[in-house]
């Protein structure tokens, strides 16, 4: 009996030691992820412009902003001589508001060029897309979209338009005056009613209104 008890104790001793020294779970690696890593939503603030209520308006705005941060990035850095007539707050505006002005100008121009129809073809098959660009003009400015079929894709048309504007506004130092600036390539700037409509629209936007125009007026003391 004593011999049996001794043998049983010898068998259980290692198990008892293991139970007291081994953790219930293996130790956690310092590299282990303690919580699920989810992608952080991208913060993006896009300007509200004249085509914002259109089905593809958001796509067009994003494409325009992308161009203004790419091949047309010089445009927001420029201060055209006539900018006060188009956007009184532009001179002191930050980069985002300057970008908003140029996107807004595109959207105002698209109203008169194509009434926001990306597949519009005018001039007897000569001009294409949202801003009615001539394929030959697109080629001369080095646009990636330089065929009629390519120019009826809205984002490509707008990207090309901003490439053209970045060249002509830098060359002439104005948004639009006579045949200079943006007016060198787009007819609505030569029509007084259309020009006034575009100018009135851009001036009225929050990104173009001067601080004095947006500041609440003090109430008169009774």
Taking only the tens place, the pLDDT of each residue in 138-157 is 999 999 999 999 999 999 99
What are the CA-CA distances from residue 219 to residues 211, 212, 222 (Å)?
18, 15, 9
- Tens-digit pLDDT profile for residues 108-140: 999 999 999 999 999 999 999 999 999 999 999
Q: What is the per-residue pLDDT for 23?
A: 44
- With a threshold of 0.85, does the pTM exceed it? no
- DSSP-assigned letters across all residues of 149-195: HHHTSHHHHHHHHHHHHHHHHHHHSSSEETTEEGGGT-GGGGSHHHH
Report DSSP state, residue 54: S
d(CA 205, CA 50): 10
Phi and psi, residue 127, nearest 5° = -115, 145
Q: What is the per-residue pLDDT for 74?
A: 98
- Give me the CATH topology for the region 59-209: Lysozyme (1.10.530)
Phi and psi, residue 114, nearest 5° = -140, 0
Q: What is the per-residue pLDDT for 210?
A: 85
Instruction: Using DSSP, state whether 133 is helix, strand or coil.
Output: strand
**Mean of pLDDT values over 75-101:** 98
Per this entry, what is the length of the chain? 222
Task: Give the H or E element holding residue 128.
Answer: strand 127-128
Average pLDDT, whole number, for the chain? 86
Instruction: Using DSSP, state whether 132 is helix, strand or coil.
Output: coil
Q: What is the per-residue pLDDT for 118?
A: 98
């Amino acid at each position: 009996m004593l011999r049996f008890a001794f043998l049983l104790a010898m068998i259980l001793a290692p198990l008892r030691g293991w139970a007291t020294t081994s953790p219930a779970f293996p130790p956690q690696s310092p590299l282990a992820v303690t919580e699920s890593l989810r992608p952080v939503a991208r913060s993006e603030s896009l300007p509200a412009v004249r085509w914002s209520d259109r089905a593809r308006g958001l796509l067009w705005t994003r494409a325009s902003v992308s161009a203004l941060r790419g091949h047309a990035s010089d445009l927001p850095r420029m201060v055209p001589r006539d900018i006060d007539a188009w956007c009184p707050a532009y001179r002191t505006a930050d980069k985002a508001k300057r970008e908003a002005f140029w996107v807004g100008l595109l959207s105002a121009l698209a109203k008169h060029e194509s009434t926001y129809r990306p597949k519009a073809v005018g001039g007897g098959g000569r001009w294409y897309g949202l801003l009615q660009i001539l394929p030959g003009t697109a080629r001369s400015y080095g646009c990636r979209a330089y065929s009629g079929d390519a120019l009826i894709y809205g984002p490509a048309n707008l990207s090309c338009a901003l490439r053209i504007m970045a060249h002509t506004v830098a060359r002439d130092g104005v948004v639009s005056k006579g045949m200079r600036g943006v007016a060198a390539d787009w007819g609505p700037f030569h029509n007084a009613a259309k020009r006034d409509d575009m100018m009135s629209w851009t001036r009225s936007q929050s990104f173009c209104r001067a601080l004095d125009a947006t500041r609440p007026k003090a109430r008169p003391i009774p």
